[in-house]
């Protein structure tokens, strides 16, 4: 088992502090098991090997909003900025969540990597994007190579988000 199929929110080398991230999730599927929140977060600190010492139980727990939240919520250090769900399809469309480690920063001496599953065991094909916040004294390597601009543009709202199949 590893995190090689996960969405990587931050992968850096250097001496510093990881302060948090915001995560955008665009839901594509509509089925009984489409809850993105079952995707576990995994943090590897200072070159540690698998399994990680910090292995969460679900995406919604990473941003401190457990039990399948169905509304926006903003707190100083965590929350849901954008919630596109509706009563008939709670987790549809675009969702933006955040977690700031202001009170619990993660210190790194050599490296840090945080990744998150695409739903339980990476079984969903959602579109994920994120911005990580960190400080390092001298960056050795920071983040993945960006894809071309066309691949980074937001996806339009599809008919499926308006109640279609």
Query: What domains sit in the chain, N to C, each tagged with a CATH number?
Result: 7-123 (2.60.120.1390)
Site of tokens 């509509």: 30
Looking at residues 41-54, what average pLDDT do you find?
93
The whole-model pTM stands at 0.82
How does residue 31 score in pLDDT terms, banded at 50, 70 and 90?
Answer: low
Cα–Cα distances in Å, from 140 out to 101, 111, 113, 143, 158? 22, 9, 14, 10, 40
CA gap 141, 32 in Å, rounded: 40
Looking at residues 104-109, what average pLDDT do you find?
95
Closest CA to 94 of 165, 26, 154: 26
- Judge whether residue 60 has pLDDT over 50: yes
How does residue 112 score in pLDDT terms, banded at 50, 70 and 90?
Answer: very high
Pair of tokens at residue 57: 């139980």
What pLDDT does residue 32 have? Answer: 53
CA gap 165, 159 in Å, rounded: 8
- Spell out the SS3 assignment of the chain: CCCCCCEEEEEEECCEEEEEEEEEEECCCCCCCCCHHHCCEEEEECCCCCCCCEECCCHHHHCCCCCCCCCCEECCCEEEEEECCCCCCCCCCEEEEEEECCCCCEEECCEEEEEECCCHHHCCCCEEEEEEEEEECCCCEECCCCCCHHHHCCCCCCHHHHCCC
Contact 116, 41 (CB under 8 A): yes
What pLDDT does residue 77 have? Answer: 93
What pLDDT does residue 85 have? Answer: 76
What pLDDT does residue 165 have? Answer: 45
- Judge whether residue 69 has pLDDT over 90: no
pLDDT digits (tens, 9 = 90+) for 123-150: 787 888 999 999 999 777 766 677 788 8
Q: Taking all residues of the chain, what is their mean pLDDT, rounded to a whole number?
A: 83
Residue scoring higher pLDDT (43 or 165): 43
């Amino acid at each position: 088992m590893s995190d090689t199929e996960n969405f990587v929110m931050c992968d850096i080398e250097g001496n510093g502090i990881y302060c948090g991230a915001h995560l955008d999730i665009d839901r594509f599927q509509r089925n009984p098991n489409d809850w993105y929140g079952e995707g576990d977060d995994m943090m590897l600190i200072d070159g540690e090997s698998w399994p990680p010492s910090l292995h969460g139980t679900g995406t919604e727990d990473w941003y401190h909003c457990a039990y399948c939240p169905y509304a926006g919520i903003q707190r100083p250090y965590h929350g849901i900025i954008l919630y596109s769900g509706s009563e008939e399809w709670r987790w549809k469309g675009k969702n933006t969540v955040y977690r700031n480690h202001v009170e619990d920063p993660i210190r790194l001496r050599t490296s840090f990597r945080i990744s998150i599953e695409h739903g339980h065991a990476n079984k969903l094909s959602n579109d994920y994007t994120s911005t990580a916040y960190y400080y390092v004294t001298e960056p050795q390597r920071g983040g993945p190579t960006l894809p071309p601009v066309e691949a980074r543009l937001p996806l339009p709202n599809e008919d499926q988000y308006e109640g279609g199949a």
